[in-house]
A and B are shown apart, each in its own frame.
Chain A
Amino acid sequence: MNTLKLGLAYGLLSTRRRAGALVLPVVTTATGAFLLVLVLGMASGISSQAAALGHADEIERAVVLIAVTVLLVGVVEVAVSTTRTVVHRTRELGVLSATGVPRPPVVAALLVEPVFASVVGAVVGSVAAVGVAAVLGATGAAASGVSAGGITGGVVLAVVVSAVAALATSIVPTWRAASRPPIRSLSTGV
């Protein structure tokens, strides 16, 4: 347990020192989160407007489809950026394995950055979406209105899904890379 904590401490240190490398994954995740929060914020307004027009079911299905599509695109974006991070740190992983550092703290250390970048990206995207939603609501630009409940749900979903997606998509390649002979990480790492 103690070595895992030390692995996480190393992960936080490397995340702080590699701040420049976080820009792209943060921007990528923020884009997905922004769209998700905005779609969910406007979903209930669109649904009730559609109900008034008598097309509730079709519009409801379309809104759910758009939301799910945005969510999936967001997950793919997170997966791409976390995979990129893992690939870029393969040589570092090889060095740690070659010097005899045990696998669990190494994997824990390398998971901190993608999870951190995804959560920060989701928060940044959500904040931007809340800002845009507020402007749309205040100016009446969104004819169907923006619901606070939808926005809140969107923010929670964006942050949770981003964190889980980052963890799920980085843990397998990192664990696999840490399980093979270190020469492969040292010779294939960027």
Chain B
Amino acid sequence: MTLAAENSTAGTTTQPVVQVTGAWKLHKLGEEVVKALVDADLTVLPGEFVCLMGPSGSGKSTLLNIIGGLDRPTKGTVVINGTDTATLTESQFAALRHDTVGFIFQSYNLIPFLSAVENVELPLMFEPYDRAALRRRALELLELVGLGHRVDHSPTKMSGGEQQRTAIARSLISNPKLILADEPTANLDHRTGATVVRLLRDLCTDLGVTVVASTHDPTVAEEASRVVRMKDGAIDGTA
């Protein structure tokens, strides 16, 4: 039974981590208006592993970007952990992301001139934390993702799977409630992809982190607690 179902049966009123209501995203390409997201509604409860599935151009990444504030909806509301993001400035949204959201990108987006451990520290590098404590935490997270032996390596000398696991460790450094993963296995071979997906699932089951991932990959969907299908920018069904 998924956590969402348990909450429902227990009759509790758990606050959703994500609540998207009537979200649209329109892009203007010359004279043409492209509907990247069409009237999307999505509620994600704490501890869920929700998988957004659909073909390219179905709106998965757009929805994910809108949830994380990397992009803003043309219309509709996005509430993250009880905060309505409509009125937030970019700085306020950055602060919300910092405290609540961790990102994992398809292309990893590690900083090439920083070592693995420095990349993990990056989101907190600009804050007056105790440097030794920050380093210990980053090392713990690299151990957690099985990269304890690669801490000083540059991303350019790491495999795709190692880079993605470093990105997962980075996404966890601020103890976020929500991880947003955009096609986390797309650049990985099947076996490495499966390792990354299991890692994401373990974040939900062991650490209680909520994960929303967009993917084409059926192995991600197999591990998810809920699959949301998308087509032509709209949510097509939930399983």
Interface residues of A (CB under 8 A from B): 2-3, 6-7, 10, 14, 17-18, 91-92, 94-103, 105-106, 109, 179-183, 186
User: Which residues from B are CB-within-8-Å of A106?
Assistant: 126
Bound CA–CA A53/B176 (angstroms): 78
Bound CA–CA A3/B123 (angstroms): 12
Contact of B123 among A94, A100, A182, A186 (CB under 8 A): A100
The closest CB in chain B to the CB of A98 belongs to B103
- 26 A-B pairs within 8 Å (CB atoms) are namely A3-B126, A3-B127, A6-B126, A10-B126, A18-B113, A92-B111, A94-B109, A95-B111, A96-B122, A98-B97, A98-B109, A99-B102, A99-B103, A99-B123, A100-B96, A100-B98, A100-B101, A100-B123, A101-B125, A102-B91, A102-B95, A102-B98, A103-B94, A109-B126, A179-B90, A186-B70
Would A98 and B126 be within 8 Å (CB), given that A92-B111, A103-B90 are in contact?
Answer: no
In the complex, the answer to whether B68 meets A98 with C-beta atoms within 8 Å is yes
In the complex, whether B222 has a CB less than 8 A from a CB of chain A is no
> How near does chain A come to B218, taking the closest CB pair, in angstroms?
27
The closest CB in chain A to the CB of B91 belongs to A103
Interface residues of B (CB under 8 A from A): 65, 68-72, 90-91, 94-99, 101-103, 105, 109, 111, 113-114, 122-123, 125-128, 170, 174
Would A180 and B170 be within 8 Å (CB), given that A99-B122, A101-B98, A101-B126 are in contact?
Answer: no
> How near does chain A come to B135, taking the closest CB pair, in angstroms?
14
Known pairs A17-B114, A98-B68 / 16 extra A-B pairs, C-beta < 8 Å:
A3-B127, A3-B128, A6-B125, A10-B126, A91-B109, A96-B126, A98-B97, A100-B95, A100-B101, A101-B94, A102-B95, A102-B98, A105-B126, A109-B126, A180-B90, A181-B71
Bound CA–CA A166/B69 (angstroms): 31
User: Which residues from A are CB-within-8-Å of B113?
Assistant: 14, 17-18
Would A183 and B65 be within 8 Å (CB), given that A99-B103, A105-B126 are in contact?
Answer: yes
Bound CA–CA A103/B114 (angstroms): 20
Contact of B70 among A10, A92, A183 (CB under 8 A): A183
In the complex, the answer to whether B174 meets A100 with C-beta atoms within 8 Å is yes
Interface of A is mostly: helix
In the complex, the answer to whether B127 meets A99 with C-beta atoms within 8 Å is no
Bound CA–CA A18/B98 (angstroms): 26
User: Which residues from B are CB-within-8-Å of A14?
Assistant: 113
Q: Which of A10, A17, A100, A103 has the most CB of B within 10 A?
A: A100
> How near does chain B come to A142, taking the closest CB pair, in angstroms?
44
User: Which residues from A are CB-within-8-Å of B72?
Assistant: 181
Bound CA–CA A183/B180 (angstroms): 14
Contact of A98 among B70, B95, B125, B128 (CB under 8 A): B70
> How near does chain A come to B51, taking the closest CB pair, in angstroms?
21
> How near does chain A come to B70, taking the closest CB pair, in angstroms?
4
User: Which residues from B are CB-within-8-Å of A6?
Assistant: 125-128
> How near does chain B come to A137, taking the closest CB pair, in angstroms?
43
> How near does chain B come to A117, taking the closest CB pair, in angstroms?
15
Contact of A181 among B69, B98, B125 (CB under 8 A): B69
Bound CA–CA A10/B102 (angstroms): 21
Which 4 pairs between the two chains have the least Cβ-Cβ distance? A100-B98, A17-B113, A99-B123, A100-B97
In the complex, the answer to whether A2 meets B128 with C-beta atoms within 8 Å is yes
Would A181 and B128 be within 8 Å (CB), given that A98-B103, A186-B109 are in contact?
Answer: no
In the complex, the answer to whether A102 meets B94 with C-beta atoms within 8 Å is yes
User: Which residues from B are CB-within-8-Å of A186?
Assistant: 70, 105, 109
User: Which residues from B are CB-within-8-Å of A181?
Assistant: 69-72, 90
Bound CA–CA A127/B128 (angstroms): 39
Would A99 and B128 be within 8 Å (CB), given that A91-B109, A181-B71 are in contact?
Answer: no
> How near does chain B come to A29, taking the closest CB pair, in angstroms?
22
